[in-house]
Amino acid sequence: MIGYEMGVEHMPLFKDEQELYAILGGFFEEVAEREESKEMISSTEISEGYDAFVQYVFHQPEGKITWAEENGRLKVICGDHDLRPELVFEQTADVGHKFWLGKLDLQQALARQQIKVQGPLANALRVLPQLDAIYPAYREYLKKLGREDLLA
């Protein structure tokens, strides 16, 4: 499948949903064990009527990764489920990848509609400072997987 970004044709970085889940889903599972994530969970309360913090909806390839809370810990769910996330971020997988590399500013991406959000954006902006500590971990995770090709 060929994707389009700013009018330029390119092949998506992730070849299919399984690779998306293996890389970004695997990274999120690893991040769930970090102190930053535990702090984020303890400082964030899900509003009534919701049972997940955030869902990332990806295109090119299609996929969904949801962050929920289970017994005071971050639980990562890849694929469809019945949970109701308070925040939904929709983007191409390539944009999501750039974001977690720290190469994409969330506020600029929202303004350019590279990322579309549903839900209380103030909640997302509140945890941005904690994400700064997580960006380098994505680079390290990709190196650990032998996927330096995704660091460019």
Model confidence pLDDT, tens digit, residues 80-112: 999 999 999 999 999 999 999 999 998 899 999
Cα gap 87→84, rounded to integer Å: 9
Spell out the domains of the chain, with CATH numbers in brackets.
Answer: 13-142 (3.30.1050.10)
Residue 94 phi, psi dihedral angles, 5° rounding: -65, -40
Angle at CA of residue 107, ends 104 and 112, nearest 5°? 80
SS3 state of residue 50: coil
pTM of the model: 0.88
The per-residue pLDDT for 29 is: 95
22-54 burial code (b ≥16 CB/10 A, e <16): ebbbebbebbbeeebbeebbeebebeeeeebbb
The per-residue pLDDT for 8 is: 56
